[in-house]
Amino acid sequence: MTGTGWRVGIDIGGTFTDVLAANSTTGDLRVAKVETRANDRVGGLIAALDAVGLVWDEVEDLIHGTTMVTNAIVENDLADVALIATEGFSDTLAIGRQNRLHLYRLDLAPKLAPQVPAELRFEVVERLDHDGRVIRALDPESVEKVIAEISASGIEAVAVSLLHSYADPRHEEALGRRLQDAFRFVGLSNRVNPEAREYERTATTVLSASIMPLAAGYLDRLEAAKPDGSSLHLFHSAGGMASPDALRDLPLGLALSGPAAGVAAAGQIAVDLGIEEAISFDMGGTTTDVCLILGGRARISSDRALGGRPLRQPMVAVESIGAGGGSIAKLDHGALLVGPESAGAAPGPACYGRGGQQPTVSDADLVLGYMDPERVIGADLHLDLGAARRALAPIAAAMDATVEAAALGIVKVTDSAMVRALRRITVERGIDGRRCTLLAFGGAGPMHAVEVARAFGISKVVVPNQSGVFSALGCARGEMSYSQQRTVRMAEDVWDAARLDDIRRTLRSRLAAPFEAAGHGEGEMRVDEIAAIRYRGQSYAIEVESPSFADPARLGRDFIALHEKLYGFATDEPWELVSIRLTVAIAHGGDTAEPAPAPRSEPEAARAKPCTFGGGVALPTPRFERRRLAVDRPVPGPAIVEDAWSTVVVPPGAMLVPDRSGHLHIDVGAAP
C-alpha cells in the first residue's frame, strides 16, 4: 500500500535483529529488537515488523542488512562449484600465493585447500593477452565438451575465470551466454571482479558462485513475501543499498552487509556534527566492528579475506574482532582469553536466564554493575545476576580472585582487543587515531567506549541517538549505490586519455543501468571515483580520492603527497594508474532522525547503585534515563545512562553532555 510514509530499516545480526521504522508523513519513529531467527530469516523479518506494530503491507520501502552471506562463508556452508578456466590455467586456484597461514607452525597446513577440487576444474580452449587482444579464439567444441562434463557431475553452480578477461570480456561473455542455457547459477569473473591478479579474481568468482544458491533462495522467498505496493532493498558491503535483482548475480555484495549499515550511519552523524576524523565503534552480541571515517566517508577496501579466502570487492574497511557481549571468557594455561566463540542468542549469556552457563562479557558487565538486574531490556529480557555470578565463579576460583575481580579482568582483556583493532585501522594506515572521535553504538558499544578511548588516547566519545539500533538506522537512511573496480594499468608517460574515458564511460553505464531502469535521470546520480596508483615495480597501490584524470601531472603530485603521508617518503620514480573504482549513487531524500528531546533544566537521576570501575573499588553510581537527560547539562562520572536497548557507562573522571539532537558527547578525561 503506497503512500503510507513508512520506511523501515532492519538489521539481522548474529544475536538480535534490530528494526527502526520512520514515517515521513507523521514523523512517527518506532524501534525494537527481536531475537534473530537463523533458520527462518524471512519469518524473523516479519516478526521484526510486528515488534514495531506494522505489517509489510503498510511499509513503502524496506531496507535490511544481513549476516547470512558472511556466516555462510565463515562456516564454509557453501554450494559445490565447477570452475572453467583457460586451457593450462585451471590449477591457479590450487597454486594460490606463497603466503603461509601459520608462519612458524610447520605441523599445520600452510593454506586452505582450494575451494574447487581438481575433478571439478575444467578448461576451454581460448587465449587473450594482457591487453585483451585475441591470441586464440574461443573454441566451441571445447565449450560443449566442458558443459557435458559438468552436467554429468550434477553441479548447479559454475564459475568462469578466463585469462585476462578483465581486459576484454568477449570470450567470457560468450561462454556465459551458453552456460546460462544449461545451469541456473553462473558467475563470470569480468562481472564479479574485473581486475588483474589471476588467483584473487578466480577465488572471488568461485566464492560468488558458491553463495549464489543460498542468496537466490533467500531473495526469492523475500520477494514472494513482499506485497506488490512495497519496495525492497538490501544493504550492501560498500555502504549503500541495492535491489534484490542487482545482488542476485553478485551476492558477495551482501558480505559485511550489517556492519556496513552501521558505518554508513556513523558517517552521516560525523557530517551532521562536523567531525572530520572519526572511528565507528559497533559492539554487538557477537563481534565488535570498527572502521575509520574521514570527511564523513568510510574507508573502502577492495582486497580483503573472509573465512581465510580472498575476497576482492569494494567493501567498507571494517575491522571485525570476535569480542561482543556474548563472547565467552576462558583460561588457557593461566592466560585469560575472551572470544571469538560466542554464546549467541540461544542460549545466550548466562545472565539472560535462558540456560547459558559459560561466562561472557555481558555477565562481567552485569556483575560490575554496569547493567541493572532490576531493569527489563527490550520487551521481556530479565537479567539474572545470580546466574552471571555462578558462570564467572569457576574463572574467579582458578584466578584466586573475587568474582568482581574476574569480571574486571574479562572487561580489560576485551577492551585491549578493541584497542588493537583501533590501531590496525589508524596507525597502520598513516592516521593518528588519537585525533579521532569515537562514535560508539550497538547494544554494548557505549558500555565499553570510554575506557577503550582512554586506553588508545582518544579524548572524545559520541554516543549517537538511537545507538542501540544504529545499524537499522543506517539501513533506513541509506542511499542507493553501486560500485565496481576495474584494472587499467596506464603509465604516466603513455597516458591515453581516450582509453581512460572509454573505461570510465563503460563502468558508469553499467552501474547507472539499474537507476535508469527505475526511472531515475542523470541529474539525480552522484558519481564518485577513486584512482589506485603505484610506483612501477611495486606490488600494491594506494588510493587517491577525487582523482584529476584530465590532468595527469596533478594526479601524480597527489599520489606523491599521499605516499609521503602514508609511508614517510616519496620519490620521483615513474608511476602508473593500476585501476579505478567508480560508485554511482542516489540519496533516498528522507530523514529518519528522532525529534530532538524537550529541553529540561536538570537531569532526573534514579537511585544510585554500586559499580566497579578500573580501580577495582565499587563506587555509588547514579543511573539516568537517557530520554530524561537535560539538554546541554553536564553529567559527571561516575554515572550510568540507560535506554530501552543499551547502556552508556561514564566512568569516574569523564563528563557527558547531551545535545539537542539526542547525541551524547563524552569528554573521556582521565581515570582518577
Asked if 40 and 24 count as a contact pair (C-beta separation under 8 A), the reply is no
Highest mean predicted confidence (pLDDT) among 68-72, 192-196, 522-526: 192-196
Q: Report the run of H or E that residue 671 belongs to, with start and end.
A: none
pLDDT in tens, 503-536: 999 999 988 888 887 778 888 888 989 999 999 9
DSSP state of 322: S
Q: In this predicted structure, what is the pLDDT of residue 308?
A: 78
Count CB atoms within 10 A of the CB of residue 643: 19
471 — pLDDT class (breaks 50, 70, 90): confident
Cβ burial, residue 551 (10 Å; 0-12/13-18/19+): exposed
Task: Name the percent of the chain lying above pLDDT 90.
Answer: 50
Cell of 290: 570498527
Q: Which residues contact 479 (CB under 8 A, 6 or more apart)?
A: 240, 241, 585, 586, 587, 588
CA 618 from centroid of its chain's CA atoms:
37
Asked if 254 and 316 count as a contact pair (C-beta separation under 8 A), the reply is no
Asked if 637 and 654 count as a contact pair (C-beta separation under 8 A), the reply is yes
DSSP state of 598: P
Q: In this predicted structure, what is the pLDDT of residue 404?
A: 94
Asked if 553 and 484 count as a contact pair (C-beta separation under 8 A), the reply is no
415 — pLDDT class (breaks 50, 70, 90): very high
Q: Which residues contact 253 (CB under 8 A, 6 or more apart)?
A: 236, 237, 238, 242, 246, 247, 313
Instruction: Give the architecture-level CATH label for domain 74-216.
Output: 3-Layer(aba) Sandwich (3.40)
Q: In this predicted structure, what is the pLDDT of residue 300?
A: 81
Q: Which residues contact 279 (CB under 8 A, 6 or more apart)?
A: 290, 291, 292, 293, 422, 425, 426, 433, 436, 437, 438, 439, 458
- What is the C-alpha R_g of the chain? 26
Peptide bond before residue 636 is cis, with ω within 30 degrees of 0: no
CA distances from 236 to 256, 260, 264 (A): 7, 7, 11
Q: Which residues contact 179 (CB under 8 A, 6 or more apart)?
A: 84, 147, 158, 160, 186
Q: In this predicted structure, what is the pLDDT of residue 71?
A: 78
Cell of 132: 585483451
In 306-437, which ranges are continuous DSSP H helix? 361-367, 385-399, 403-425
Question: Average model confidence (pLDDT) for the chain?
Answer: 88
Q: How far apart are CA 95 and CA 118, in angstroms?
A: 12
Is residue 385 pLDDT above 50, yes or no? Answer: yes
Average pLDDT over residues 51-79: 87
Average pLDDT over residues 229-251: 86
pLDDT in tens, 129-166: 988 899 999 999 999 999 999 999 999 999 999 999 99
Asked if 9 and 30 count as a contact pair (C-beta separation under 8 A), the reply is no
Q: What is the DSSP string of 108-149?
A: S-SSPPPSS-GGGEEEES-EE-TT--EEE---HHHHHHHHHH
Q: In this predicted structure, what is the pLDDT of residue 602?
A: 58
Q: In this predicted structure, what is the pLDDT of residue 588?
A: 61
Is residue 539 pLDDT above 90, yes or no? Answer: no
Q: How far apart are CA 412 and CA 423, in angstroms?
A: 17
CA 437 from centroid of its chain's CA atoms:
19
Cell of 165: 578477461
Count CB atoms within 10 A of the CB of residue 168: 17
Cell of 312: 576482492
Cell of 87: 586451457
Q: Which residue is associated with the grid cell 570480456?
A: 169
Q: What spatial distance separates the first Cα and last Cα of the chain, rounded to whole Å?
A: 58
Lowest model confidence (mean pLDDT) among 58-62, 166-170, 236-240, 402-406:
236-240
pLDDT in tens, 590-612: 455 444 454 555 556 567 889 99
pTM value is 0.84
Highest mean predicted confidence (pLDDT) among 110-114, 151-155, 562-566: 151-155
Q: How far apart are CA 579 and CA 45, in angstroms?
A: 39
CA 624 from centroid of its chain's CA atoms:
32
Q: How far apart are CA 380 and CA 389, in angstroms?
A: 21
Cell of 605: 537521576
Cell of 583: 560508485
Longest dimension (CA), the chain: 82
Is residue 1 pLDDT above 50, yes or no? Answer: no
Q: Which residues contact 90 (CB under 8 A, 6 or more apart)?
A: 83, 121, 122, 123
Q: How far apart are CA 22 and CA 627, in angstroms?
A: 18
Task: Name the percent of the chain lying above pLDDT 70.
Answer: 96
Spatial CA neighbour of 269 closest among 526, 109, 471, 464? 464
For the chain, residues classed under CATH 3.40.50 are 74-216
Map 11-71 to HEC letters.
EECCCEEEEEEEECCCCCEEEEEEECCCCCHHHHHHHHHHHCCCCHHHEEEEEEEECHHHH
Q: Characterize the bridge pairing of strands 437-441 and 460-463.
A: parallel
Q: How far apart are CA 645 and CA 447, in angstroms?
A: 12
CA distances from 269 to 193, 547, 593 (A): 32, 26, 10
DSSP state of 343: -
